[in-house]
Structure 1
């Protein structure tokens, strides 16, 4: 006779926010070695810098290759449209905006397809479509062709993200937050290298250089597919007979989590978008400080994200981490706001401290967010829920530049405090949403 936890999972397919995960250990989870046995694993594996051989390592390597090309392309796409295709700046912005919105719509339906047909095949198909769509940019000579190429690329990218979620959840086993944190660290590292490659292409500023980068990005999609092809196929999990096809869109507690979490993810644009403009327009700090701030943010995430995720297991712990993150965002942004009017070096020192505090909040938020993203979703519908999660993040990233521009850059110091207050409010509300989710799942059971 199954125990209470097994009955709860079998009936609802959803873990309560603080129920230990019933997933079997990951196929590549490290075995428990006796303390007296010599550890013959490579040094990088022992230090946690490289995962054990198996599905997790393949997913991490594939993600690194994919993000490497994507980051380089995103930094150069507007210039390619301007310099090579010859579009006016207004059409470039409009085309990228349309493509981004189209891409957001793919997440839930493709995630549902991944739940019912198996995530690996859907993910591989999305990578092949991305490669073809990227190469089609080489033949785009009009606004319509540019929008179609980029829209299909974004559509396939969102589809791949929704299909990748179930693989992360199931291969992550009991260590999903730590595994997802490792993936985030490697993605940050890949983005850094991609940005460096984009810098070289921008410096060359030639049509051949931009085209070469597009071809290289298409190859990264194929490289990612070649790596992920070695990941074992996952059979779809049976859904409860009473399960609604679009369960994620009817799950009000999860939708509330997505809204609050999406608001908190705007914090990523504070360092990459608002801060550089703040440095140039409102402070006397040297302009090269923007690069220092990005370096501080990147190094902290790469080095500390996995460590920060340790112990962040269960809905209540993750909600507390999110609440702590909101407070850190307020403190960090208040410190950054005080840099206006200070002498150059003093302004740089103050903002460096503010960026460090803000990044600490980002580490706590990511650890809590990555735990709740999978914890609150039914096991049989991870793809559909991943699509909804991606939809929420995408919409918030879409409004982030305008919101940060209005508050932080338009209002100045008070605007930074208002934005920090928004983060605090979202963080304080997260424990309430997690408790609501727990009660709704208990009633469903």
Structure 2
């Protein structure tokens, strides 16, 4: 069991290095190296994000029926192929195809992996999932400077070497995953299609988790734009804010998840997260106006509070999504649960830009209130889901 956990963690680390390369400089590869207009890149990524949502449910269902390791292995190989095809993208049509394949493989891989986490995660698979999230952030931290090198050099060979690194990361993850013993499909009625889509209380939790997932765009979209456009803080503070949040998650995610050991505890963790997001979203606009040192301090404090909220948000999501999913349909249920975060990935950037940048200070307060309201609703939705079972 411990050996399987280590292999899954190592595979996750390898894969996340590739994901980190893409998250840091993937858009710039298509705009700077392929020379596609930014508007086309944004449109293509949005379409790919929507299409990929269906992949999570479908592949999660296949993982339940056919065995999770083989299906997850297939998604990693598909990810490697999709990333390699980036080198062939020369126009919008080919770009749209390759990013859709890559995005679908990534979403499908998350769904296919969840039965493995549940099977090999021991008595508390939620804690193992929290550990994997810490590993994920560590992998992104390793990848960021590598991608930064490609961006700094700015040549086509440099960007292509980054893509080769993405492919190598997925292949390495697949090779490591192959050492994990296969698991048989769990007996039960999980063979029935789309039972998760008929579970209304679980769908409500999925929707609320999707609202909460918008908070991830605060760090990656809203704060960088706010810092550059509205504050006197130096631009290098963008990296400092991301590094601060990453370090907090790497160091404390597992610890934050240990006390979240029931659906009710998961609901309370969500509620604490929402209040933390409300506080951080109330502090961030205060960085506009003061001198650079004060603005930087305000942003760091706000990011630290936001990162603590992320710890509770993730801990609550790990517990609720696993505990309320039938064992025989883990992949399908977690594939459905991923719809919320997938929609947040697709529409969240536009929402936070409209609220926080377009509306200014009031928009930050509105965003914080939305997150807090959703978080305070989740314990009621959890209670309803538990009762329905």
1:381 is the counterpart of 2:329: yes
Q: Which residue of structure 2 aligns with residue 176 of structure 1?
A: 125
Provide the C-alpha distance between the structure 2 equivalents of 1:414 and 1:91, rounded to a whole number of angstroms.
Answer: 31
Aligned partner (choices 48, 51, 55) of residue 106 of structure 1:
55
What are structure 1's unaligned runs of at least 5 residues? 1-26, 29-53
- 1:178-197 matches, within 5 Å, as 178-197=127-146
Provide the C-alpha distance between the structure 1 equivalents of 2:161 and 2:316, rounded to a whole number of angstroms.
Answer: 39
Q: Which residue of structure 2 aligns with residue 318 of structure 1?
A: 266
CA contact (8 A) 2:49 2:345 kept: no
Q: Which residue of structure 1 aligns with residue 277 of structure 2?
A: 329
1:163 is the counterpart of 2:112: yes
Aligned partner (choices 209, 214, 217) of residue 158 of structure 2:
209
Give the C-alpha shift of residue 244 in structure 1: 4.1
Greater mean deviation of Cα atoms: 145-154 or 58-67? 145-154
Give the C-alpha shift of residue 172 in structure 1: 1.1
Provide the C-alpha distance between the structure 1 equivalents of 2:387 and 2:328, rounded to a whole number of angstroms.
Answer: 20
Q: Which residue of structure 1 aligns with residue 172 of structure 2?
A: 223
Provide the C-alpha distance between the structure 2 equivalents of 1:349 and 1:141, rounded to a whole number of angstroms.
Answer: 44
Provide the C-alpha distance between the structure 2 equivalents of 1:439 and 1:407, rounded to a whole number of angstroms.
Answer: 36
Provide the C-alpha distance between the structure 2 equivalents of 1:340 and 1:424, rounded to a whole number of angstroms.
Answer: 23
Provide the C-alpha distance between the structure 2 equivalents of 1:371 and 1:84, rounded to a whole number of angstroms.
Answer: 42
- Superposition misfits of 4+ residues, deviation over 6 angstroms: none
- Between Structure 1 and Structure 2, the one with more helix by share is 2
Q: Which residue of structure 2 aligns with residue 420 of structure 1?
A: 368
Aligned partner (choices 251, 271, 290) of residue 303 of structure 1:
251
Aligned partner (choices 320, 339, 354) of residue 287 of structure 2:
339
Q: Which residue of structure 1 aligns with residue 89 of structure 2?
A: 140
Quick one: structure 1 residues 84 and 283, their matched pair in 2 at CA, closer, same or farther if it must change by over 3 Å?
closer
Give the C-alpha shift of residue 85 in structure 1: 2.8
- 1:361-380 matches, within 5 Å, as 361-380=309-328
1:339-358 deviations in Å (ceiling 9; x for gaps): 22222211211221111111
Greater mean deviation of Cα atoms: 282-291 or 427-436? 282-291
Please, what is the CA RMSD of the aligned residues? 1.4
Q: Which residue of structure 2 aligns with residue 8 of structure 1?
A: none
1:58 is the counterpart of 2:7: yes
Provide the C-alpha distance between the structure 2 equivalents of 1:314 and 1:65, rounded to a whole number of angstroms.
Answer: 31
1:224-265 deviations in Å (ceiling 9; x for gaps): 011011111111111239x74211111111111111111111
Give the C-alpha shift of residue 90 in structure 1: 2.4
Give the C-alpha shift of residue 388 in structure 1: 0.9
Q: Which residue of structure 2 aligns with residue 255 of structure 1?
A: 203
What are structure 2's unaligned runs of at least 5 residues? none
1:103-139 deviations in Å (ceiling 9; x for gaps): 2221111111110000000011111122122222222
Quick one: structure 1 residues 264 and 203, their matched pair in 2 at CA, closer, same or farther if it must change by over 3 Å?
same
Aligned partner (choices 258, 262, 268) of residue 216 of structure 2:
268
SS in 2 for 1:257: helix
Give the C-alpha shift of residue 59 in structure 1: 0.7
Aligned partner (choices 184, 189, 193) of residue 245 of structure 1:
193
Give the C-alpha shift of residue 286 in structure 1: 2.0
1:201-235 deviations in Å (ceiling 9; x for gaps): 01111111111111121111110011011111111
Provide the C-alpha distance between the structure 1 equivalents of 2:235 and 2:86, rounded to a whole number of angstroms.
Answer: 34
SS in 2 for 1:106: helix
SS in 2 for 1:173: coil
Q: Which residue of structure 1 aligns with residue 230 of structure 2?
A: 282
Give the C-alpha shift of residue 424 in structure 1: 0.9
CA contact (8 A) 2:213 2:340 kept: no
Provide the C-alpha distance between the structure 1 equivalents of 2:86 and 2:293, rounded to a whole number of angstroms.
Answer: 44
1:435 is the counterpart of 2:374: no
Provide the C-alpha distance between the structure 2 equivalents of 1:285 and 1:211, rounded to a whole number of angstroms.
Answer: 33
SS in 2 for 1:338: helix
CA contact (8 A) 2:208 2:340 kept: no
Q: Which residue of structure 2 aligns with residue 44 of structure 1?
A: none
Q: Which residue of structure 2 aligns with residue 119 of structure 1?
A: 68
TM-score with structure 2 setting the length? 0.96
SS in 2 for 1:174: coil
1:169-223 deviations in Å (ceiling 9; x for gaps): 1211322221111111110111111111110001111111111111121111110
